[in-house]
């Protein structure tokens, strides 16, 4: 039995990161949407209602933590994984307080992203908890 494809939003100001994640998401059979800053992310998230968002912390216009807060306030059912190359305890703590599912350290491995998506789908199908441990920092 084939599962319904997920809508996944990828938010990063670096085009290369967006492109890489978009390829991974599509190869896994899901629909990928992209945004290059937090403002675009909020707008897209509220219009397409993705199941999952991969979002960078440091971006122009609106950063990932501010966007995370706005998205979770308007649509708490959307799960967000924060990505950062600057994984200070303060950043991770703030992201978790704002409702992030977990934080993923950059640079990341392609297989790690695939595992996160598979684990997320499995947890959604088999329990009420969507907490991911594979990507925790």
Residue 112 reports pLDDT greater than 60: yes
More confident position, 126 or 127: 126
| Average pLDDT of the chain to the nearest whole number | 88
Is residue 135 one of the residues assigned to a domain? no
What is the SS3 assignment for the chain?
Answer: CCCCCCEEEEECCCHHHHHHHHHHHHHCCCEEEEECCHHHHHHHHHHHCCCEEEEECCCCCCCHHHHHHHHHHHCCCCEEEEEECCCCHHHHHHHHHCCCCEEEECCCCHHHHHHHHHHHHHHHHHCCCCCCCCCCC
Is residue 19 one of the residues assigned to a domain? yes
Is residue 79 one of the residues assigned to a domain? yes
Residue 87: pLDDT band with limits 50, 70, 90: low
Which structural domain range is residue 58 located in?
7-126
Is residue 133 one of the residues assigned to a domain? no
> How many domains is the chain built from?
1
Is residue 1 one of the residues assigned to a domain? no
Is residue 40 one of the residues assigned to a domain? yes
CATH of the domain at 106: 3.40.50.2300
Is residue 104 one of the residues assigned to a domain? yes
User: pLDDT > 90: what percent of the chain?
Assistant: 63
Is residue 134 one of the residues assigned to a domain? no
In this structure, of 27-36, 57-66, 107-116, the range with the lowest mean pLDDT score is: 107-116
Residue 133 reports pLDDT greater than 70: no
Q: What is the pLDDT of residues 15-56, one digit of tens each?
A: 999 999 999 999 999 999 999 999 999 999 999 999 999 999
Global confidence as pTM: 0.88
């Amino acid at each position: 039995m084939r599962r319904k494809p997920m809508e996944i939003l990828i938010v990063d100001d670096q085009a290369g990161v967006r492109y890489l994640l978009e390829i991974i998401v599509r190869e896994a059979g899901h629909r990928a949407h992209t945004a290059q800053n937090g403002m675009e992310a909020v707008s897209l998230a509220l219009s397409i209602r993705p199941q999952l968002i991969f979002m960078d912390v440091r971006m122009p216009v609106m950063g990932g933590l501010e966007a995370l807060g706005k998205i979770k306030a308007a649509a708490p059912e959307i799960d967000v994984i924060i990505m950062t190359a600057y994984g200070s305890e303060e950043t991770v703590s703030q992201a978790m307080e704002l409702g992030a599912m977990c934080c993923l350290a950059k640079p990341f491995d392609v297989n790690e992203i695939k595992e996160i998506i598979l684990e997320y789908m499995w947890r959604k199908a088999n329990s009420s908890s969507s907490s991911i441990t594979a990507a925790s920092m």
